[in-house]
Amino acid sequence: MGKKLLFIYNANAGMGKIRPSLSKVIERLCQVGYDVTIYATQAAGEARDIVTRRGESVEVVVCSGGDGTINEVIAGAMRLDKKPRIGYLPTGTMNDFAKSLGIPGHPLKAVETVVAGHAYSCDIGSFNGRNFNYVAAFGAFTEVSYQTPQRNKNALGKMAYFVDAIGRLPKLRGYHLRAKADSRYIEGDFIYGMISNSKSVGGFMLEDKKHKISLCDGKFELILLKNPQNPIEFEQVIQCALTHNIDGNNLVALKASNIEIKMDEPVSWTLDGENGGTWETANVFCRKGAIDIFAGNMGRKKKIG
């Protein structure tokens, strides 16, 4: 009897990207000795619930879908005392988390990261008691990812996000906040805030030669974009956001393991591109190396036999 593997897939993610490759993916997993059980999700929350119920009875859980699917799978695994290792075949629109882990975008290439068996101990975030994988954010455009209709995402891909974002430009506003990031204190008005554990967010690369990002260092990147006071500052802030120029005067950027952000009013947040609720206070901390994920060419921590 081979090692037990639970395969969960979202057939609607990324225009049904997994469908043409599904049988070959399963065949490949069986070829290397896995005893595969398949589950197709039908609604939000199902991936989390099936991992919670079945996760301790298998050694590996592989999921195919977008950032929302992998968020649910890891959320389910985090509920367990005995956590399965996680494989990810990214078939969504943005696939930011997969890019950070060096996982290829095509299912038949991505499944080889599971076959190779190199697991990466990845940090996982806690946001007011709810887990997230790679980003918690508030402010400008953060609602675009979960309010953009799925049919638009399927038809236009990344462009769907940008089309929806342009229509929201007139609604930009600042939020007054007080933040504590480990031992540092910040106060001011900001139009956008992001706590991330990723090299890519919203399709934009955050890492460059000067600013390296690790997914297993026990720290998150906190970025706060200041509220512009005039058209020149507005242009500078938008340019800063697009280029991730963290040396500019228009944002705060630092690393921290524990972050508390207090707002003067309830503010909507997103977690991994999904609706994260409305909060006046956000308590975020890093769970260092909480989940073992099969990764690509980076961060190979241990070989699973």
Identify the residue whose tokens are 């049919």.
151
The domain limits of the chain are 3-124+290-303, 131-286
Cα separation of 9 and 55, whole Å?
15
Given a contact cutoff of 8 angstroms between Cβ atoms, the answer to whether 7 and 38 are in contact is: yes
- Helix then strand count (H, E) for the chain reads 9, 16
At residue 150, does pLDDT exceed 50? Answer: no
**Does 275 or 185 have the greater pLDDT score?**
185
Residue 222, pLDDT score: 92
Is residue 274 annotated as a catalytic residue, yes or no?
Answer: yes
Mean pLDDT in residue range 93-108: 87
Mean pLDDT in residue range 207-233: 79
Q: What Å distances lie between residue 186 and 56, 183, 261, 300, CA to CA?
A: 42, 10, 9, 36
Mean pLDDT in residue range 211-229: 85
**Does 180 or 144 have the greater pLDDT score?**
180
Helix or strand holding residue 282 (H, E): strand 274-294
Residue 198, pLDDT score: 87
Question: 160 falls in which pLDDT band (50, 70, 90)?
Answer: very low
- For domain 3-124+290-303, give the CATH number: 3.40.50.10330
Task: Choose the CATH number for 131-286 among 3.40.1180.10, 2.60.200.40, 3.90.1150.10, 3.30.390.30.
Answer: 2.60.200.40
Question: 145 falls in which pLDDT band (50, 70, 90)?
Answer: very low
Tell me which residue of 145, 132, 161 sits closest to 282, measured CA to CA.
132
At residue 244, does pLDDT exceed 90? Answer: no
CB burial of 274-305 (b: ≥16 within 10 Å; e: otherwise) equals bebeebeebebebeebbbbbbbbeebeeeeee
Least confident of 47-56, 110-119, 197-206, 270-279: 197-206
- Catalytic, out of 56, 72, 274, 280: 274
At residue 161, does pLDDT exceed 70? Answer: no
Tell me which residue of 232, 213, 235 sits closest to 223, measured CA to CA.
213
- Find the helix packing angle between 107-116 and 22-31, rounded to 10°: 20
**Does 237 or 44 have the greater pLDDT score?**
44
Residue 163, pLDDT score: 39
**Does 202 or 89 have the greater pLDDT score?**
89
Tell me which residue of 235, 244, 160, 144 sits closest to 200, measured CA to CA.
244
* Residue-averaged pLDDT of the chain: 82
Q: 14 Cβ partners below 8 Å, 6+ apart?
A: 66, 91, 92, 93, 154
Q: 8 Cβ partners below 8 Å, 6+ apart?
A: 39, 40, 41, 47, 50, 51, 61, 62, 63, 64, 65, 69, 73
Residue 195, pLDDT score: 93
